[in-house]
Amino acid sequence: MKEVEDRYSRQVLFRGIGREGQLRIRSARVAIVGCGALGSAGSEMLARCGVGFLRLIDRDFVEWSNLQRQSLYDEEDARQGRPKAMAAAERLARINSQVRVEPRVSDLSFENVGELLGEVDVIVDGSDNFETRFLVNDYAVREGIPWMYGGAVGSYGLAMAVLPGKGPCLRCLIPTLPAAGGGDTCDTAGVIAPIVHVVVSYQVTQVLRLLVGEQVASGLLTVDLWQDEWRRVREVARRDDCECCRLRRFSFLDGEARSGAAHLCGRNAVQVNPARRGELDLVSLSRRLETAGPVQVSDYLVRFQVGELEVTVFRDGRAIVKGTDDLAQARSIYSRYVGT
């Protein structure tokens, strides 16, 4: 069909892809974990490239502070506080109707990782915390699925292709979870939009190379745009004592390393996870909460105020408590208003 040929004509002309490579891209399935800065930019690039299937996984909703760097969203998304996965999917459908997009408003956990990351060719990291990244790493290594690690804070970014069985995994580079307060976050150092797109450009390029059958190096790229420091990709040694890829101990995948609450990068907020997963009746919950004050309810979430705190409860039972970084306080609010 001429429309299809025209859409990807410049990509097909590129020697590294060609017609056969474009067909491989069209038949590929990619999961994107997180639809924030990296995830929104990455999913847009992949949709425009013609990747046949994109699964968007995100637990969060759009806020005003996202609009400076999260390219798929607009003011109306922030005004409504729409779930990022849904807002992203609708925008991508308008960008490329030939791509099948599957939005999943969910928090990736050891309980649902097989469902959310199963049956894909590549996983792309757009997450905002290392607990999630270590979980993705466990699953990808166990299942032999390549994935693209990436991160950005301030003007600094880094990315690495993890190729199970062929090179180091993330835990060869970072053996244990970084300590809380041990480094800058978007909340303390901010982040500028250009570094997001540099990291994503590298991630997506490696994805395309994998999909068309090229060899990809598993080195680490680091860049600081403000300091104008462009570092070459350096090799990462595969550790003989790596818990994950050498010793095959998948503690995050097994649920041994799960936490009940976690700080969220980029703002003063805590996510609380229920002790048992299950789908909430949001309408019923919203009625119960009316005694506490005004309540907003949609098909995906319930939002209400507790003093200066804003609480958003999702259908899968998770809650984001905004206005505090106190894990105990967030758990207490959850227990008082949502239940245990």
Catalytic residues: 186
Write the burial class of residue 180 (CB in 10 Å: 0-12 exposed, 13-18 middle, 19+ buried).
exposed
Question: What does the alpha-carbon distance between residue 69 and residue 191 come to, in Å, rounded to a whole number?
Answer: 8
Question: What does the alpha-carbon distance between residue 107 and residue 57 come to, in Å, rounded to a whole number?
Answer: 7
Question: What does the alpha-carbon distance between residue 90 and residue 103 come to, in Å, rounded to a whole number?
Answer: 9
Look up residue 48 and give its amino acid.
R
Contact 46, 23 (CB under 8 A): no
Question: What does the alpha-carbon distance between residue 148 and residue 144 come to, in Å, rounded to a whole number?
Answer: 13
**Side-chain-side CA neighbours of residue 154 (13 Å):** 13
Contact 236, 220 (CB under 8 A): yes
Write the burial class of residue 225 (CB in 10 Å: 0-12 exposed, 13-18 middle, 19+ buried).
middle
Question: What does the alpha-carbon distance between residue 26 and residue 259 come to, in Å, rounded to a whole number?
Answer: 38
CA torsion through residues 5, 6, 8, 12, sign: positive
Question: What does the alpha-carbon distance between residue 205 and residue 200 come to, in Å, rounded to a whole number?
Answer: 8
* Tokens at 308, concatenated: 């200066």
Question: What does the alpha-carbon distance between residue 286 and residue 294 come to, in Å, rounded to a whole number?
Answer: 9
Question: What does the alpha-carbon distance between residue 88 and residue 46 come to, in Å, rounded to a whole number?
Answer: 13
* Tokens at 239, concatenated: 């550790």
Question: What does the alpha-carbon distance between residue 299 and residue 297 come to, in Å, rounded to a whole number?
Answer: 7
